[in-house]
Amino acid sequence: MEYKHNPPTLAELRAYRKPITHPHKEARSAFSPLERFAVKITKSVGTVGFFFILTIWTLGWLLWNLYGPLEWRFDPAPAFVIWLFTSNIIQLVLLPLIMVGQNLEGKFAEWRAEADFEINKKAEHEIEVIIAHLENQNELLLELIRKVERR
């Protein structure tokens, strides 16, 4: 983009500059309530805290049914059928939710990448304009120096 003697005016530059939007807010607001729920579940399940909750729940369940009072044990060892059934139900519910959440996070990452690209394009354009202005100023200064030297 060469401007040599006619760089854009300040008004033209201001008209070109659109306010930068926040891609996080735009992307999140585009999600439906169910999609936001899926993203929230995905983020919660993928934490160390959730891992510890599952570990403590499993250890508590298994230890209670191995060493608890005989009349209060509700899931006899070694099969632990209720525990297996409950664990499988949790997995069947969480796996599709996690996949939906990951897909939405992927869409969100694409939106963010597009926003970054737009910002980079704006920055590149502004840098080109600044360079053109500087080149124009250099030419004007050189002309002034020549005129001063001629006197």
The number of angstroms, rounded, from the C-alpha of 125 to the middle of its chain's C-alpha atoms is 25
Structure tokens at 137: 């100023």
Domain presence at residue 1: no
pLDDT tens digits, 107-135: 888 888 888 898 898 889 888 888 988 99
Q: Is residue 3 part of a domain?
A: no
Both tokens of residue 29? 């607001």
In angstroms, how far is CA 103 from the centroid of its own chain? 12
pLDDT at 8: 66
26-66: per-residue pLDDT in tens?
777 788 898 888 888 888 988 999 999 999 999 999 999 99
The answer to the question of residue 4 being in a domain is no
Instruction: Give dist(CA 73, CA 71) in Å, integer.
Output: 6
- For residue 111, what are the domain limits? 10-150
- DSSP character at residue 71: G
Look at the chain and report how many structural domains it folds into: 1
